[in-house]
């Protein structure tokens, strides 16, 4: 493996923390990267929480970083909407959290109702209700673009229990409306990585991606042809030619430095 890689693109949920708990030695791993002059950046499909709140959460776990070092699928969605004007500037109906709405309003994107919006944006939402589902369907009946922060079906929580992901809420909306997603924003879409790297004037060829999700983290790395480490607490016996494996971020960093 190339030991000269400079930029470590690290997933958050399942790699740095699980729910509100730090994953053992993830803080030490990030300290070690910094002490060796490496640049850790965080790339997450989490769209429930703003980058400012995620930076505060990391700080509470002993990991110092600026909110600009965190790219979420919510920020990427806001940037995408701002750049493409996919909503025809009629505003967005957000099926998601207030933190997701705040990423849009930071870029002066209008938040609209199902009856007036120019596009629908669906993000992960632990407070999702039948009314959110119904209003999303009503918005889509107006034949507007359907944007998903990501298509992750689920993510792990404590005790091995699965939490429904943004992709499962998207499924409910797709089934009821008979509309398919027009734009998928988060990993494995390379756009979200480009956005993070261009913000920091960094180059893909110096990067490695570390994540616990084959369909998002590893798939993204394969798409942009950069190395990756698949974090797998039960490593498979078969060594893949496509990616490295490690049991934890700490082990991955040990392997890479």
Q: Which residues bind its own copies (CB under 8 A)?
A: 125-130, 133-134, 137-138, 141, 153-154, 160-165, 167-178
DSSP class per residue in 24-35: TTHHHHHHHHHH
In this complex, which beta carbon is closest to its own copies, that of residue 45 or of residue 248? 45
240 backbone dihedrals φ, ψ, rounded to 5°: -85, 145
In this complex, which beta carbon is closest to its own copies, that of residue 130 or of residue 241? 130
In this complex, which beta carbon is closest to its own copies, that of residue 141 or of residue 198? 141
In this complex, which beta carbon is closest to its own copies, that of residue 77 or of residue 173? 173
CB of 126 to its own copies, least distance (A): 5
Tokens 């632990």 identify what position? 126
Cα end-to-end span (Å), the chain: 10
CB of 174 to its own copies, least distance (A): 7
DSSP class per residue in 194-237: HHHHHHTT--GGGEEEEES-IIIIIHHHHHHT--EEEE-SS--S
In this complex, which beta carbon is closest to its own copies, that of residue 138 or of residue 244? 138
CB of 156 to its own copies, least distance (A): 11
CB of 165 to its own copies, least distance (A): 7
CB of 9 to its own copies, least distance (A): 26
Structure tokens at 46: 């989490």
- Of 97, 131, 89, which Cα lies nearest the Cα of 114? 131
């Amino acid at each position: 493996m190339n030991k000269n890689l400079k930029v470590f693109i690290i997933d958050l949920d399942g790699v740095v923390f699980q729910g509100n708990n730090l994953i053992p030695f993830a803080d030490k791993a990030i300290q070690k990267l910094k002490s060796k002059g490496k640049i850790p950046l965080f790339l997450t499909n989490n769209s429930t929480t703003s980058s400012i709140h995620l930076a505060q959460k990391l700080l509470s776990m002993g990991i110092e970083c600026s909110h600009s070092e965190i790219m979420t699928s919510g920020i990427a969605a806001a940037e995408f909407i701002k750049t493409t004007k996919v909503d025809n500037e009629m505003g967005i109906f957000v099926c998601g959290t207030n933190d997701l709405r705040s990423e849009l309003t930071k870029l002066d994107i209008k938040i609209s109702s199902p009856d007036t919006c120019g596009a629908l944006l669906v993000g992960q939402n632990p407070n999702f209700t039948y009314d959110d589902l119904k209003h999303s369907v009503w918005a889509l009946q107006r034949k507007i673009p359907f944007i998903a922060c990501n298509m992750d079906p689920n993510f792990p929580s404590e005790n091995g229990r699965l939490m429904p992901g943004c992709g499962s809420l998207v499924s409910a909306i797709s089934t009821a409306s008979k509309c398919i997603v027009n734009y998928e924003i988060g990993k494995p879409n390379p756009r979200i990585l480009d956005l993070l790297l261009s913000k920091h004037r960094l180059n893909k060829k110096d990067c490695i991606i570390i994540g616990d999700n084959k369909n998002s983290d590893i798939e993204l790395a394969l798409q942009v042809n950069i190395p990756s480490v698949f974090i797998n607490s039960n490593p498979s016996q078969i060594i893949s030619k496509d990616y490295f494996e490690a049991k934890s971020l700490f082990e991955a960093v040990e392997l890479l430095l």
